[in-house]
Structure 1
C-alpha cells in the first residue's frame, strides 16, 4: 500500500513584527485540518540557561535575537519527527483537498531566525522572509509586551542590528528564498503557491483575506 507524498514544509521567517505569525495563522485557518505549525519562539532557552549571552554595549539583558538563544536541536528534531510521520489519508483531509490527487499535508514553520540554521533551511520546500523599514518595525515593536520586557535601548543595540545581520546572511546564503515587504498583505499569493505545490484545490470561501485589525508578529 503506497503512502501519500511527503509533507510540504513552508518556512515563514523575517523581521520581528513583520507579519510572520499573522500570515501563518491565516494559512492555518484555511488549510486542511491536518495542517501542523511549529513556532520557533517556543524553543527559546529559559532565562537562566547558560546558553544565553549578554547584549553588546554593556546593556544588562540577554541577547534574545541570536540563534544561540534558541534550542535549534530540539526544534529540528520536532520538525523531522513530523516530516517522518505518516501523513493523513484522504479521509482526513477537509474539503479543500477532496478533489485533489494525493494532496501533501502542510507543515508551517514560523520564526524570525528559521534560515539561520542550514539544517532547518534545507527542510523547507518554500522559504519566505518578511522585511520592514526600521521605523515601521520600531512602531510595531513598541505596541508589544515581551517576557522578559525589552529594556530601554534593546531595539537599537540588539533587535535591529541582529536583524540586519541575519537579512544579509539570508540574501547571501539561502537559495530560493522570497523576500517580501512585511507592510503588504501577501496572504493571497502565498496561499495560492502553497495550494499549488501541495496539490490542494481551493474552495469558494477562500477569499483574499485582510490584515486589517491583525497584530503583526
Structure 2
C-alpha cells in the first residue's frame, strides 16, 4: 500500500490557515489534478449540539479542545491512511451545530488538515507527518475575525468582541500558542506567504512523485 502523508496546518483563529491550505490545494489540483490530494477542516468536527437549545449552544466555548470531536477526526484520518473514504461532517456557524449533510473525502497520497487546535492534541500529533504553524499577530487575527464573522456568519461586532475577550484570546495563550513548539515549519504572513506555500507545494510534489 502506498504511504499516505498527513500535513497539519495549525494556528490562531483567522491566522490564515484556511487560505494557506486552500491555496496549496487549489494550485496543486490545477497543476496535477485532484487525484492524490485531499483536504479536511478541523471546524467540521465541532461536536454536534442538536440536542441543545440555540441559547445553550451560544454558551459553548468554541476555542476549547472539548468543543471538538477529535476522536472522530482521528478515526477519519486513520481510515484515510488505510485507503478508505470518509464522510466529513458539515458544521453551521449560524446554528452552532452540525448540518444533516456530509462531504465524501477520498483517500490520497497526501492529506491536508487545518484547524486551531490540531497540534494541541497528542493523539492527532502522532498522525501528522508534517506540521505547520501559522504565526500571525493577534491584532491582525482579530481584524480578520471581525470582518469574517460579521460578513459571513451574521454576527454583530459586539458579539465578536465579547467572544474574543472571553474565550478566543485566553484559549490562544492556553492551548494554541504552546502547541507551536510541535510545528516543523512556522509560517509568518499567513496565506500570503508565497515562499512557504511554494515549500509545501514542492514537498507535496515530491511525495506524489515517489
1:149 deviates by 4.0
Large movers: runs of 4+ above 6 Å? none
Cα distance in 2, alignment partners of residues 199 and 117 from structure 1? 27
Answer whether contact 2:116 2:176 (CA < 8 A) is retained.
no
1:123 aligned counterpart, secondary structure: coil
Q: CA RMSD in A?
A: 2.7
Q: Are 1:195 and 2:205 counterparts?
A: yes
Cα distance in 2, alignment partners of residues 113 and 44 from structure 1? 11
Q: Which residue of 2 aligns with 1:108?
A: 112
Q: Are 1:21 and 2:27 counterparts?
A: no
Answer whether contact 1:18 1:132 (CA < 8 A) is retained.
yes
Cα distance in 1, alignment partners of residues 43 and 20 from structure 2? 15
What TM-score does the superposition give when structure 2 sets the normalisation length? 0.71
Q: Are 1:63 and 2:61 counterparts?
A: yes
Paired positions, count:
172
In structure 1, the gaps of 5 or more residues are 55-59, 88-103, 202-217
Decide which of 139, 145, 160 is 2:143's aligned counterpart: 139
Q: Which residue of 1 aligns with 2:101?
A: none
Q: Which has the higher strand share?
A: 2
In structure 2, the gaps of 5 or more residues are 86-107
1:110 aligned counterpart, secondary structure: strand
Answer whether contact 1:38 1:79 (CA < 8 A) is retained.
no
